[in-house]
Every structure is written in structure tokens, then in C-alpha cells.
Structure 1
Amino acid sequence: MQQACVLLLQDVFAVKVKRRRAAGQQSGGAVLGLALFCCRRREKRLEEDTVHLHNASSEHTHTWYNKLKELLTGFSSRPRYLKVFINPSSHKKEAIHIYREHVAPLFKMADIHTDITVTERKGHALSVIQECKLDKYDGVVCVGGDGSVAELCHALVLRAQLDANCPEEPVKAVLPIGIIPAGSTDVVSCSVHGVRDPVTATLHIVLGHLQQVDMCSFSSCGQLVRFGFSAMFGFGGWSLAHAEKKRWMSSSRRREYALVKTLAKLRSEDCQLSFLPAKKTNLCLSGHQDQDQVEKDDPVSEGNESWITKQGLYLNISVMSIPCLSPHAPKGLAPNTSLTNGSALLITVGKASRSEFIKHLKRYNSSSGQFNFPFVETHSVSAVKLHPFSLAGCSEESEEEGDAKEAPTILSEGVALPWNIDGELLEIESEVLIRVHSRLITLYGEEVDEAESTTSCNCF
């Protein structure tokens, strides 16, 4: 017995009249019925599919066609006019090809009109968003990597502040953003799609699947640096700084080179770290406090907020408001973080040997256990302040264990340290304040708990 197949109207994005035409005939022809273009789920992937409805009656076919078109128009979250930004320099420089081959045909089939800008430089999308009339669009699409996505999200929030005449407080972006992955890691795309697949990303846009997402503001000396989703200071910042010096390499080779280079010169940062625990959330400590860190017993009160302050040597400090899923970290760099819980995960990696630190890094490729080390702590936070004091000198490898030797030196005034903010290198001289803002941006997609994995980096 043939199993019945159910097709939900919410999964249909286009309907066309089928006709029999002779070779070379461009119009007319006998009516054969309808073709319903829809999506099918295959785990986390969405795939294009077609259902054929046969009916030789022209009257009946057009009645059904008009009714189905009317019903499909009733899905208000589905876009009709999109502003598209394509970064031709992303990753393997395949963004334009990805858009033409995988995205544009689906947009055309769904009767979505587009206004396309191919970016020519860093900050190009920001300048366009500041000047264009956003009210004529239903959404914005980014074809690129995490840097392009972060720039566009930052631009839309800044534009919302400008339009609301509210420069002091973040204002929710008025348009949703669709992300077509074309980068090297695509952690934002993976966090809302679960896969690095342009067809899946496009179908989420076409079907109007909307997901509210938290963002962070990064400020220094009272001035906004940018809005973003994640930041790494210490190892994550230095490895990106090394990678940026080798832009001529392929992305995979550049990433491996940067990891090896940073591990060979593993250094600790002497920092004062303050954080504001997320409301209604207990502190989550997965590791133990480093003996060389000094924690104040009483929280520091600032207005109605109670900050907890620590000082010590840190190999890496991460703040992430999204899980940051990727093929290299399928459970995410911040696996206990939701897209919309109004908090971020603070991950601190204290003083440790090089070999133990490498074990910690390698755990990200597995399902769990990356925080099960005595030198690693995690906290659910709503704000973080980080003030660096000194730089430890470049470590020399021990012949027996390959451990890092600390040789701290005082950091001179005006020395900028590297930050990795959403995959973009920023050099900041002074204290950085990070605050989480709930549901500041809307992305096309849906929350997932794990990404498809690939072969891990072979440099370990």
C-alpha cells in the first residue's frame, strides 16, 4: 500500500500552471495542471521539491491557481522585495557564483524582486545602509562570511538608532536579515540554519522563517566600537592577528598557520575582569578558580547593578551571545547559549600549560567536555568589563612538556591589543565594556542546537 504524503501549504513557496508546448513554443499550449514548488526537510537541511497536480481543465486549473496564489500571498512574513549585498572577496571568492547558481533562481521562482549591491570595500554595506530608503524593502540579504554579516547587522542597528533619534540606546533593527553562507566558518549562519548550505538559507528567506536574536554592544572610553555577536580576547585575538598577516594563504592554511604560530608563542594577558551575572541565572562554574587569580568576596555595586570583579592571568576570554555553531565546533563555542535568552556566555581560560590548553581546544571538535578543566570557568552574564594590565612575554617551549613559561612585562600606555569580534580584527587600547541586548536583530532562520560537523583542523 502506498503511504499517504501530506504537503503543508506553509512549505509551498510558488505555484505555476503546467502546459504542453511544442519545441520552440514560448507561450500558450494545452493546460496539464499545476506544479507546486515546495521545500522538504532532510534533518537540518531544506531542499527544493516539486509536487505535480494533474488536471486537463483550463477553468479548474486557473481557479486553483488563483486561489493558491491568494493563500500564498497571505503569509505576511514572506518577503517580496529584498536588498541584497554580495561580498565578492569572501573566502574562496565564490559569493557571486553562489548567488547566481543557488539563490537567484529560487528568488525568481518565488516572485521576489531584488536590489543588488556588490560590495567593493570594507564598510561599503555600512555606507549604503546609512543612505538608502529602507522602507521600500521587506528584508536585507547578505551573501558573505561572518565579517560581512556582522557589518550589515551593525549597520542596521545604527540606522535604527539614527531613525529613532536615540543615539544613546540600541534600537531594534526594522528589517530582518537573511544570511547566505559564503565564508570560511559562517558561525552566525550555522547558528540559525545548522548547516552551511545556500539552498537551506535561501528557503528560510523565501518561506519567511524569522528568528529573534540577541546582540552585544562593544564600547571603549564611553564610545561605541560596534554591535556584534561574539568576541575573543587573548588567544583568539592574537591568532586572528597572525592570520590577517597571511591573507595570501588559503583560509584553511591561514587558520592552521595562525593556530600553530599563536600556540608556539602562547601568552597570558594580565587583566581585571568584571561581569554582571545574568538575571534569574545562577553563576555556572564548569571549572575551578585559578590559584593565581584574585576574586573579591563582595560584588562591586554600581547603581542597582552588582558586578563581580576578578584579576589574574588569562590565556583567552570569550563573550558570546549566540552559540557560535560551526563545522569545526558542532556543539558551538558557547553550547549553553540560546539565541534569545538575553544573556551571553563568558568563558575564561586561566593560566595553564600549553599541552593542557591544546586539550581544551581539541574538545571543541567533540560533543562536549571543553569546559571540564580546572583552569576554565563559564558564567552566564548580561555585561562584561575587561581592562588589560600587562602582556606576558612570548613563551618558549619546554623540551620535556612543551609548556608555556610566563615572563610578564608591563604594558605601555597607548598599546592596542587585538580583539576578534565576529571574525574581524579590532585593535583597542583601553577597557572594553560589553553589554547584551535582547532580541536586537531578526534573522531568517530558526534556532538549532547542533551544526553539521566536518573534518577537524589537522594542525593538532
Structure 2
Amino acid sequence: MTDSRRMPNGSSTNTEQSETRYLQHDATLVVDEHVSLTLGSDSLVIVESKETHAIALYNALNAELSPAGLTVTYAKPVTKHDVSVTALRYPIVHEQKEDVEAWVSKLLDLAYLDAKRKKKLKVIVNPYGGKGTALHLYQKYAAPVFAAAQCQVDLEVTKHRGHATEIAEKIDINAYDAIVCCSGDGLPYEVFNGLGKKPNAQEALAKVAVAMIPCGSGNAMAWNLCGTGSVSVAALAIAKGYHTPLDLVSITQGNTRTLSFLSQSFGIVADSDLGTDNIRWMGAHRFTYGFLVRLMRRTIYPCDLAVKVEISDKEAIKEHYRTYANMEPLKRTPESIAKLPPGLPQLKYGTVMDKLPDDWAVIPGETMGNFYAGNMAIVSKDTNFFPASVPCDGMMDIVTIDGNTSRAESLKMMLEIADGGFFDMPDVEVRKATAYRLVPREKEGYISVDGEQVPFEAFQVEIHKGLGTVLSKSGHLYETGGPR
């Protein structure tokens, strides 16, 4: 595995190709005349009888000295996409004890850097996730990683829809570092909304991170924060993850207010997702199938749309991304969290029931083909729909595409998403925004919030900078390369 945390811009360092730089003279532990263990800048180098191999420090989970000797536990890559817990054991003589203890302390400092060790995790499993295999996937691939990292785990299986919201609403925020959802993106949506119902909602959302073990069809949260759809690799990323502030958005429909962490869609994306529930057995492919069917029909989704635009020029959006990427990661202190006011933040722009603010831009929506607002970059595997999205800039990314765009151009757009060319296509309108209001003109259809269906009626959205918290691999950026 590579460690994307060690570069300030979130890019990865390949430990196999990088030149190991030794730290100090005491970074080498000689176990016996045939074995030495040396701490490099990003790897543990092991020399045994003239044979040398390295373990990425990111993969090191624990090291401890016991009467039986020194044990180093790590996540060993076993396939291209999976890891398995493995241990190295070496006998130690009594005279070495002090040196070994100092070496172990240094190894763990380098392995975890500023990440919280021995995290206290509330693990919530959706038993229907992963086609009914979520609990099995967690127990077989994630639980051993958490155990090796000495995480304290409290496991609970959901019994009904909305159960995760109830769990999060009642949770003791001082008892856990994070809530880990073994599911698709539906469970994190419930958890954020459960934390948002607490009397001390802002403190709860800032203090307790939300994370995902990917057991659904889209698994966007895991792809964005952990860079993987693998259960074992996501578990490793969570064990090593940094508490990272995340923008959340408030959505109002009538007198109802909910929170969203991922995206809102109206038009062909929502229709292709929610309108294909009858072919859920196809997994992620059902979305592609639904998209192509609707594309061939040249479907349009008329609406009234108004947006509080902050940046509308694509080059300016790219520059904004680069500036953010080079900033120091935002960190909270326990003192700042304790001072947060109770409840959710006040709505700056009111609700969908209020008068439309004068400084919002009215966007023509008579022939809307696709409206997609994103708070994370990746919406599913290989679908980096919002490449300029970052976790905590106080803005959401809005993409609109006219429904009269030719079929050929629409197909090209779909193909260009994976290749990174989608953002720059002329027919793709991209805006950074802080709020918007969308009013469907038809009586029936689909609106998706974080992949969940909400009533087909007018809704208004505004963003709250850093309201939520997640565990991320980099502590700063999503696991993407940003816009080209």
C-alpha cells in the first residue's frame, strides 16, 4: 500500500521506488547477528541473512514487546486490492529491553504520525448491504485490521430503515472517536442526520467522525476518503485515518430540514439511479443501463433554478482547487469544539418557503437534462464527477447539462468522466456555489439526496463550512488528482 498522507498535497509516495532515508543511528534495531530492523522515512526495512524487504510504515498497525519477544503487526498486501493482517516475531534478550521499547515507540510514532491511535469505534452494519453479505465482509476483512490496530469496537446491526439515525441521535459523543458504517452511502446519510438531531448537534458533528466500510453498490464515501472499494483497505485507512472537517449542506423541503454529505441530483442522474430500483440485482451497472435508456429517449427535466454562485469560470475553479490543495489542513482543537453553539447552524438564506434572495443567479431550466450538486468528488467507482471538489471550502460544486445536448456528445461526456476530460467539455456547466433552490415543473419524478429518494417537490440547499467530520486518508483532500 502507498501512504498518501506524507505529501502535503495528498499525492502518494511509492515506498518501493522511493530511496529509503535513514533517520538516526538509533533507528536500527539489531535483533540478532542475522536480522536488523531499520526505520526509514516511509518504510520499515528488514534485513535477514542478506535478504532485504520493506514494509510501508502506513501498513504498520502495532508493535509491542512481551515476554515472548518483539511482535510487529502489519497489513500485508495479498492481492492488488486487499490486505491481510500478518505479524513478525523476534526473540529479545533482557539486555535489549530498553532499546527495543524506544524503537517500538519510534515505529508507532512514524506509523501513525498525527492520527489518533487505538480509536474507539461504533461500528454499524446494515445487514442488507453488499447483497446481504455486509456483516460477513466486516467480520472477515475489517475486524482483524481493527483488532490488530487495537481499536475498541462496539458493533451494532441495524434492524430497520432509519435505525442508524436513531443510534447516532442517542450516542454518547464522548465514548467514541468515530461511527463506522458498514454499508453503502445510505447509512452515513442516516448517521449525519442522527447527529444533527442532538441538542448539541454542532459539537457532536465536530467531535465524532463518520467513516465507511464499503459494503454497498456506490460506496462514494469510501472512494473519496479512503481511495478504495476494498473492505480490508478501507479498514486500514480508518485505523490510520485523520479527523477531517467536512462541509455539510442543509436541505429544506416545506418545513423539513435534513443534512446531506455527498450530493443532490435532479434529472437524468437521479432518474437513472432511483428509477432503476427494480433492477438493483445488476449492482452498479444498473445506473449505466438506466442512463443509456434515458439518453436514447432524449429526456428533459424542466425546472426553475436559482443559484448563489461564488465561482463560475472553470480556470478560476481550478486555481481555487490548487490554492486549497497547498493550504495547511484545517484542524480543530477540543477547546474550539467545546465552544460550539447548540443545535444546527441557523439558515443564512432561510428555507424554500422564503422569498428568493435578490443576489442569486437565475439559471434557465426549461430544457434541463441533468442537475447535479456535489460535496465530494467521486460519486461511484471511476466516476470523478466533481474533480474540483474539496472537503472543507464552504462551497459545493454544481454541474448542469442541457437536455438538448446531442446523444453523441452525451455519450462522450459519460466516457470522459473516467478519463478526466469531462470537466473541460464545453457543454458541461460548472459552478462553485454556497446555496441554490430548485423547483420541478412536472408533478412526478425523482430527486436524490446522497442516493436516497426524497419527495419530488421544491427544495433549497445551503452549505455549512466544516460542520461535519470524517476520517480520511490524507486529512486534507479527497483521493483524486483534482481537475486537469
- Shorter chain as denominator, the TM-score bin is 0.7 to 0.9
String of CA shifts for 1:141-184, please: whole Å, max 9, x gaps. Answer: 1111112222222322333xx225x8xxx974420122111111
- How far the C-alpha of 1:49 sits from its partner, in A, is 7.2
- Secondary structure at the counterpart of residue 360 of structure 2: strand
For 2:440 and 2:100, locate their aligned partners in 1 and report how far apart those are by CA, in whole Å.
67
Higher mean C-alpha displacement, 344-353 vs 50-59: 50-59
For 1:251 and 1:60, locate their aligned partners in 2 and report how far apart those are by CA, in whole Å.
55
String of CA shifts for 1:373-399, please: whole Å, max 9, x gaps. Answer: 33x31111111111222xxxxxxxxxx
- How far the C-alpha of 1:346 sits from its partner, in A, is 0.8
Q: In the alignment, what sits opposite 1:314? A: 368
Greater helix share, structure number: 2
Q: In the alignment, what sits opposite 2:480? A: 450
Any conservation in 1 of the 2:169–2:196 contact (CA below 8 Å)?
no
- How far the C-alpha of 1:124 sits from its partner, in A, is 0.9
Higher Rg of the two aligned structures: 1
String of CA shifts for 1:203-242, please: whole Å, max 9, x gaps. Answer: 2222242322222221122431442320110111211232
Any conservation in 1 of the 2:76–2:83 contact (CA below 8 Å)?
yes
Alignment of 1:147-158 (within 5 A): 147-158=186-197
**C-alpha distance 352-67 of structure 1, shift in aligned 2 (>3 A):** closer
- Secondary structure at the counterpart of residue 211 of structure 2: strand
Q: In the alignment, what sits opposite 1:426? A: 454
- The root-mean-square deviation of aligned C-alpha atoms, in Å, is 3.5
Q: In the alignment, what sits opposite 2:422? A: 369
Does the alignment pair 1:348 with 2:417? no
**Counterpart residue type for residue 442 of structure 1:** T
String of CA shifts for 1:354-373, please: whole Å, max 9, x gaps. Answer: 33322222221322135413
**Counterpart residue type for residue 450 of structure 1:** T
TM-score of the superposed pair, with normalisation by structure 1 = 0.73
For 1:321 and 1:188, locate their aligned partners in 2 and report how far apart those are by CA, in whole Å.
11
**Counterpart residue type for residue 260 of structure 1:** L
For 1:66 and 1:216, locate their aligned partners in 2 and report how far apart those are by CA, in whole Å.
46
Q: In the alignment, what sits opposite 1:294? A: none
Q: In the alignment, what sits opposite 2:465? A: 438
Q: In the alignment, what sits opposite 2:300? A: 268
Q: What is the aligned residue count?
A: 385
Any conservation in 2 of the 1:214–1:229 contact (CA below 8 Å)?
no
**C-alpha distance 14-192 of structure 1, shift in aligned 2 (>3 A):** same
Identity, in percent, stands at 22
For 2:289 and 2:420, locate their aligned partners in 1 and report how far apart those are by CA, in whole Å.
25
Higher mean C-alpha displacement, 45-54 vs 84-93: 45-54
- How far the C-alpha of 1:39 sits from its partner, in A, is 5.5
For 1:110 and 1:365, locate their aligned partners in 2 and report how far apart those are by CA, in whole Å.
34
Q: In the alignment, what sits opposite 1:122? A: 161
For 2:58 and 2:385, locate their aligned partners in 1 and report how far apart those are by CA, in whole Å.
33
String of CA shifts for 1:298-340, please: whole Å, max 9, x gaps. Answer: xxx977x7211123320010101111253232xx111111122
**Counterpart residue type for residue 150 of structure 1:** Y
Any conservation in 1 of the 2:245–2:392 contact (CA below 8 Å)?
yes
- How far the C-alpha of 1:77 sits from its partner, in A, is 2.1
For 1:266 and 1:144, locate their aligned partners in 2 and report how far apart those are by CA, in whole Å.
34
String of CA shifts for 1:98-143, please: whole Å, max 9, x gaps. Answer: 2111111122222222111111222111112222323222221111
**C-alpha distance 12-361 of structure 1, shift in aligned 2 (>3 A):** closer
Alignment of 1:104-183 (within 5 A): 104-159=143-198, 162-163=199-200, 172-183=205-216
**C-alpha distance 352-214 of structure 1, shift in aligned 2 (>3 A):** same
Which of 213, 216, 225 lines up with 1:192 in the alignment? 225
Any conservation in 2 of the 1:37–1:49 contact (CA below 8 Å)?
yes
- How far the C-alpha of 1:56 sits from its partner, in A, is 3.3
Higher mean C-alpha displacement, 199-208 vs 442-451: 442-451
**C-alpha distance 228-143 of structure 1, shift in aligned 2 (>3 A):** same
Residue segments in structure 2 that go unaligned for 5+ positions in a row: 1-18, 21-37, 45-56, 317-354
Q: In the alignment, what sits opposite 1:298? A: none
For 2:356 and 2:462, locate their aligned partners in 1 and report how far apart those are by CA, in whole Å.
15
Residue segments in structure 1 that go unaligned for 5+ positions in a row: 20-30, 287-300, 390-410, 452-460
- How far the C-alpha of 1:275 sits from its partner, in A, is 0.8
For 1:92 and 1:366, locate their aligned partners in 2 and report how far apart those are by CA, in whole Å.
29
**C-alpha distance 385-315 of structure 1, shift in aligned 2 (>3 A):** same
Which of 64, 67, 70 lines up with 1:34 in the alignment? 70
- How far the C-alpha of 1:416 sits from its partner, in A, is 4.5
- Secondary structure at the counterpart of residue 425 of structure 1: strand
- Secondary structure at the counterpart of residue 263 of structure 1: helix
Q: In the alignment, what sits opposite 1:15? A: 63
- Secondary structure at the counterpart of residue 217 of structure 1: strand
For 1:144 and 1:422, locate their aligned partners in 2 and report how far apart those are by CA, in whole Å.
13
**Counterpart residue type for residue 72 of structure 2:** L
- Secondary structure at the counterpart of residue 462 of structure 2: strand
**C-alpha distance 178-253 of structure 1, shift in aligned 2 (>3 A):** closer
